[in-house]
Structure 1
Amino acid sequence: QTGIIAVTDARARHVLQACELLHIPVPEKLCVIGIDNEELTRYLSRVALSSVAQGTR
């Protein structure tokens, strides 16, 4: 399985959009993970996006 870790959730959404245009099935052929864990992202993506939150101090 191949995967992409995007630097932000917004960039991960762009990757998901590109996959849709190129007919690349997510997550069957490509896994996409975002960073930020933005709550809004789960409402904007047609495909569920896995995301991680960065620790802050």
Structure 2
Amino acid sequence: VLDLDLALQYGFNAPRVLQEVQERVSSQVESFTAINVIAVNVRARRVVYDRSADRKAGYAGRR
């Protein structure tokens, strides 16, 4: 069993991202190690907001 705690970038579909991570980690661990992965528990512990994306889009200083 693998337990992963992640930070997600704001604006992404959290359930879709977490499921994708779960599937890829399970597949890659089994591929690299030949160990049968019983479960991959993935949790979003925080959301990160990228302010540099706002600056690039011209929203600097606005709230």
Identify the structure with bigger relative contact order (alpha carbons < 8 Å, sequence gap 6+).
2
For normalisation by structure 1, the TM-score amounts to 0.38
Structure with more strand by fraction: 2
Structure with more helix by fraction: 2
For normalisation by structure 2, the TM-score amounts to 0.36
Structure showing greater radius of gyration is 2
